[in-house]
Amino acid sequence: MTTFVNWVGNQTCAPARRLSPATEPAVQTAVREAIAGGQGVRVVATGHSFSPVHLTAGTLIDLAELDGITQVDADRRRVRALPGTPIGGFGDPLWDAGLALANQGDIDTQGISGAIGTATHGSGIHLQSFSASLRGCRIVAGTGEVVVIDESTPDLLAAAQVAIGMLGVMTEVEIEVVPRYRLAQRIEWWSFARLLEEWDERVARHRHFSCFWCPAPESAAMYGLERESVESTADMAWVKTLDEVDDDGAPGGRVDRGYRLYPIDSLEPNFHELEYFVHIDRASEAVLAMRELMLASQPDAVFPLELRTVAADSAYLSPQYGMPTLVLSVSGKPGTDYWGYLRSVDALLGEFDARVHWGKLHFLTAEQLHDRYPKAPAFIDVRRRLDPDGVFLNDHLRPLFA
């Protein structure tokens, strides 16, 4: 028996077996043995989820050996890859083929199947999450059989795009990509008043517009945000814009291939994150309410509030199903009892019918799932068809999706 610990150390389990299959038949064997032994199965790549989605006392399948791009179709802008391929592993090979991922987030070390399965995203009101790029996959389902999902099976695809590992083990994914592009980056410090005043116009104007609002003088240091241009970062926002360019870009900025500019290299695993999504039409209202709560929650609310946007999509469990969203991300400090603060955030954003990031801390109930995710019943129907005995459920997911 081995112990699994996720990347930030807030989730652990002791699975009966931890396996690293290198082929699809080996995955099938692992799943069939687990079924025969009455064990549950969960899957892990780099363990970047803060929530207990990985945890199991049964079989934990590690995707480390299922790594690499298997096919690039430049004409169709389609790429096939093994499920454990890290997001950062797509950059150079796609660029050499004249292609790129459409968008990325602050971290690029997650495995592609996990990023898809939890609706991991970047920022941009016209840019969707990783899940929306999925066009097909191969899954070893809860029966031990391989299920092929593609655009000819739209209900299965809409479920597989955000499945949190509940349909089975992905053994290959096919994603849609875009022509390669260069971006110009600009970093500035803004007052909160300016952020609120220019929010709508900037979100509409820029390809990527995001920020970290700092509630306290020490907030910027928590994420390693450069702060030489301001004396105090309290009630200030570290604002990042990225726009496509064909030349050297704007004065004072940085220009490079897109995949080199998305990650924030200074982020350390010193935070436990909660991330909720509200309809973009209520963005200003939600941000004002969060600022008030965070200022009243010191010193628990010391980490910055990250604000991003994501375009609507049609995946059944996507936070963006049928609506563009504002993303609000807050963190608790390891070593402190931050649960009261995070529950206050949950209660506040619940007033906005907030949806959750499946890989981050959350308090979603089954009742809220059905209220806030219109296609939750459709997803659960597909889950029961592909995994009728709940092999891929765990104690975290079963109350929501059984």
pLDDT in tens, 316-360: 999 999 999 999 999 999 999 999 999 999 999 999 999 999 999
Task: Name 176's Cβ contacts closer than 8 Å, sequence gap at least 6.
Answer: 77, 78, 102, 133, 135
Look at residue 266 in the predicted model and tell me its pLDDT: 73
Per CATH, the number for 4-62 is 3.30.43.10
Look at residue 125 in the predicted model and tell me its pLDDT: 97
* pLDDT band of 1, cuts 50, 70, 90: low
Q: What is the mean pLDDT of residues 283-295?
A: 97
- Nearest-angstrom CA–CA distance, 309 and 316: 19
Q: Whole-number mean pLDDT of the chain?
A: 95
Tell me the pLDDT tens digit for each residue of 76-127.
999 999 999 999 999 999 999 999 999 999 999 999 999 999 999 999 999 9
Look at residue 293 in the predicted model and tell me its pLDDT: 98
Say whether pTM exceeds 0.85: yes
Q: Which of 375, 337, 345, 376 is nearest to 362 (CA)?
A: 345
Look at residue 249 in the predicted model and tell me its pLDDT: 54
Q: Exposure string (b/e) for 202-227, b if CB count within 10 Å is 16 or more?
A: bbeebbbbbbbbbbbeebbebbebeb
Tell me the pLDDT tens digit for each residue of 2-57.
899 999 999 999 999 999 999 999 999 999 999 999 999 999 988 999 999 999 99
Residue 274 identity: L
Q: Is residue 363 exposed (0-12), middle (13-18) or buried (19+ Cβ within 10 Å)?
A: middle
Q: Is residue 252 exposed (0-12), middle (13-18) or buried (19+ Cβ within 10 Å)?
A: exposed
* pLDDT band of 314, cuts 50, 70, 90: very high
- CATH number of 182-366, picked from 3.30.70.2520, 2.40.50.140, 3.40.50.800, 3.40.50.2300: 3.30.70.2520
Look at residue 115 in the predicted model and tell me its pLDDT: 96
Q: What is the mean pLDDT of residues 285-304?
A: 96
Q: Which of 214, 229, 347, 335 is nearest to 289 (CA)?
A: 347
Task: Name 367's Cβ contacts closer than 8 Å, sequence gap at least 6.
Answer: none
Tell me the pLDDT tens digit for each residue of 248-286.
555 557 899 999 999 987 778 889 999 999 999 999 999
Q: Does the structure show a pLDDT above 90 at 378?
A: yes
Q: Does the structure show a pLDDT above 90 at 310?
A: yes
Per CATH, the number for 69-179+374-385 is 3.30.465.10
Look at residue 189 in the predicted model and tell me its pLDDT: 95
| From-to residues of CATH 3.30.70.2520 in the chain | 182-366
Q: Which of 280, 143, 304, 291 is nearest to 219 (CA)?
A: 304
| From-to residues of CATH 3.30.43.10 in the chain | 4-62
Look at residue 251 in the predicted model and tell me its pLDDT: 57
| From-to residues of CATH 3.30.465.10 in the chain | 69-179+374-385
Look at residue 252 in the predicted model and tell me its pLDDT: 59
Q: What is the mean pLDDT of residues 174-199?
A: 96
